[in-house]
Structure 1
Amino acid sequence: MPELPEVEVTRLSLSDRLTGARVEGLRLGKALRWPLGCSAEQVLGARVDAVERMGKYLWLPLSGEAAPAGGLLWHLGMSGSLRLVANGTPPGAHDHVDLLTSAGVLRLTDPRRFGAVVWGASRHEGLPGKLLSRLGREPFDPALSGPVLRQAWRGRRAAIKPVLMAGDVVVGAGNIYACEALFRAGIDPRLAAGRLSGPRCQRLLQAVQDVLMQAIAAGGSSLKDFSADGHLGNFQNLTAVYGREGQPCRICATPVRRVVQAQRATYFCPRCQKR
């Protein structure tokens, strides 16, 4: 599933080329998770402003006299990718949304159709506002700190790994990145979230930030479907524990273990990561 690093890499690949482009058409293929929420004609003539990211969503603001102010919120779902292709490039079987612009066709490809594109008068209104209001803080938000995490998780008995992945406190730590951050912070993923001390929360926050920054620099992770503008990410080749069950820990040589938490595979070093 594309997570925060993959979505940020996608944003970086699109922003400069799309900013200032003019919308010339909108083609919808098979139905996605939610309806668009506007007619295709409503966005014609709009100008694309700078692409923004909130968690795993991309907000494409539209403005101009030819169309009402607003924007399109894009989500890549479980297997989606978003890229800019040349005008006139015919859509394939899994290409479900084409935004035709003067800079090219912004195309959402999604084999499993869990992704979506929805219209909103702003990112704070309508369905975009509802979806984005559920998100926790961005991991690089200056207001986020170890004490903030500790207070938010106080009393929680659930294990820290699924709690971290829930995204209601801090967004961006998908399965790969949660495993890697907990390893770097030396925290056992089975530890109850409410038992983390202030210093351990601070170490975990720093580890989340470091892992996400490294993943963005590596172009994200490409395990099955994801690529940004046709280029595969490389972070999956740099992991310390994720996907390395039975292999020696890169620090202590203890075999990496795999357990299942909240129906997701968790990888950790039983020696380096403490309860």
Structure 2
Amino acid sequence: MPELPEVETVRRGLLPAMEGARFTKVETRRPNLRWPFPERMAERMAGTRVQALTRRAKYMIAELSSGESLIMHLGMSGSFRIEDAKGKNTPGEFHHPRSKLAAHDHVVFTMESGTEIVFNDPRRFGFMLLMPDAELRAHPLLAGLGPEPLGNAFDAAMLATACRGKRTSLKAALMDQTVVAGLGNIYVCEALHLSHLSPKRGAATLANRNGTPHPRAVALVDAIKIVLGRAIRAGGSSLRDHRQTNGDLGYFQHDFSVYDREGEPCRTTGCGGTIKRIVQQGRSTFYCPKCQK
């Protein structure tokens, strides 16, 4: 599933075509994706303007001039592409052929410029929800989310407080969306490696006995921000389905230090360890037992 950097990459790719533009037509080509489309979605969106295109965790949110917001989630295989008025894809280099099956083009936004923004989702695990702005923060998908890991409010003290007293592993705590929003398996593994912390370490060890942040928490917060920043600058990761809006693959997977590198040498200078794979909560965890303690 696309993680925060992938979603942020897509959002930034959509900004020039969507933000400030008006929908002249909205077409849904099937009754549902993961869930049914909102009632009268096409009618409610046609003629409205996108006042802002934001992101919360792994959700993109289009704030509309009608006083409603459209929540969009990519699911397992969802992607957007931008086409000009003649139907041509925007420029982009492809490493592998991209599916052009019209059966997978489930939503088409036609903007006032004539640009078409197409949502393609072969597996149909993505979704779109349309609701009044006043109900947005209270929606079950958003209400319980923790802080944004790239936000100024997310710091060592906040993370230590969230993990204090927890009996779960550090990996499990970071995957908990109420602790920090938007982190997924790939970037948790990478951040733990960069901070030299074991995924099996107890989450509570990020806090001192008096509740203040341990230096481990400082190192981990710094690592999370560094890893996510690198991934966004690289255009996200390409595992199976993820592509940017111009069709390019993300390139961060070439910079993985531990993820999907079982049996390979650790890249930490002077370590000499070997990357190991374990399973935690049904998910693969990759780490170096030698330098991650």
AA aligned to 1:2 is P
Q: Quote the offset at 1:107 in angstroms.
A: 1.7
Question: What secondary structure does 1:52 align onto?
Answer: strand
Q: Greater shift after overlay, 194-203 or 177-186?
A: 194-203
Instruction: Report the 3-state secondary structure (helix = DSSP H, G, I; strand = E; otherwise coil) of the residue aligned with 1:216.
Output: helix
Pairing partner for 2:80 from 71, 79, 82: 82
1:132 equivalent in alignment to 2:142? yes
Say if 1:88 and 1:113 are closer, same or farther in 2 by CA, change over 3 A: farther
Structure 1 partner of 2:165: 155
| Distance apart, 1:141 and its partner CA | 2.1
> Secondary structure in 2 aligned to 1:73?
strand
Cα deviation 1:254-274 (Å, max 9, x = unaligned): 110000111111100001100
User: Deviation at 1:128?
Assistant: 7.6
Partner of 2:280: 261
Q: Does 1:114 align with 2:125?
A: yes
2:293 is the alignment partner of 1:245: no
Whole-Å separation in 1 of the counterparts to 2:76 and 2:126: 7
Conserved? CA contact 2:76–2:241, under 8 Å: no
Q: For residues 211-249 of structure 1, what are the alpha-carbon distances to aligned partners after superposition, in whole Å with 9 as ceiling and x for unaligned?
A: 000000000000110101201100000011111100000
Residues 202 and 105 of structure 1, relative CA distance in 2, 3 Å threshold: same
Instruction: Answer whether contact 1:161 1:189 (CA < 8 A) is retained.
Output: yes
CA displacement 1:53-87 (0-9 Å, x = unmatched): 11111111111xxxx32121100011211222234
CA-to-partner distance for each residue in 1:23-73, whole Å, 9 max, x for gaps? 11121133112333231212111112221111111111111xxxx321211
Q: Report whether the alignment pairs 1:201 with 2:201.
A: no
Give the root-mean-square deviation of aligned CA atoms.
1.8
**How far does residue 130 in structure 1 lie from its aligned partner after superposition?**
2.8
Deviation, structure 1 residue 88: 6.6
Residue 102 of structure 1 deviates from its aligned partner by 2.1
Secondary structure, in 3 states, of the residue corresponding to 1:241? coil
Q: Secondary structure at the match of 2:148?
A: coil
Structure 2, unpaired ranges of 5+: 88-99, 208-213
Contact in 1 for aligned 2:148/2:182 (Cα 8 Å): yes
Number of aligned residue pairs = 269
User: Within 2, Cα distance between the matches of 1:272 and 1:5?
Assistant: 26
Equivalence for 2:38: 37
Paired residues for 1:139-218 under 5 Å: 139-197=149-207, 198-218=214-234
The secondary structure found in structure 2 opposite 1:51 is strand
2:235 to 209, 213, 219: 219
Unpaired segments of 5 or more residues in structure 1?
none
1:147 partner letter: A
Equivalent pair of 2:69/2:136 in contact (CA under 8 Å): no
Percentage of matched positions with identical amino acids: 43
Q: In the alignment, residue 36 of structure 1 is paired with which amino acid?
A: F
Given that residues 52 and 64 in structure 2 are in contact (C-alpha distance below 8 angstroms), is that contact kept between their aligned partners in structure 1? no
> What is the TM-score of this pair, normalised by structure 1?
0.92
Counterpart of 1:54 in structure 2 is 56
Amino acid in structure 1 at the alignment position of 2:181: V
CA contact (8 A) 1:159 1:191 kept: yes
Q: CA offset at residue 127 of structure 1?
A: 8.9
TM-aligned CA deviation for residue 161 of structure 1: 0.9
CA pair 128-16 structure 1, distance change in 2 beyond 3 A: farther
How many angstroms apart in 1 are the aligned matches of 2:282 and 2:166?
A: 19
Is the CA contact (8 Å cut-off) linking 2:81 and 2:117 kept in structure 1? Answer: yes
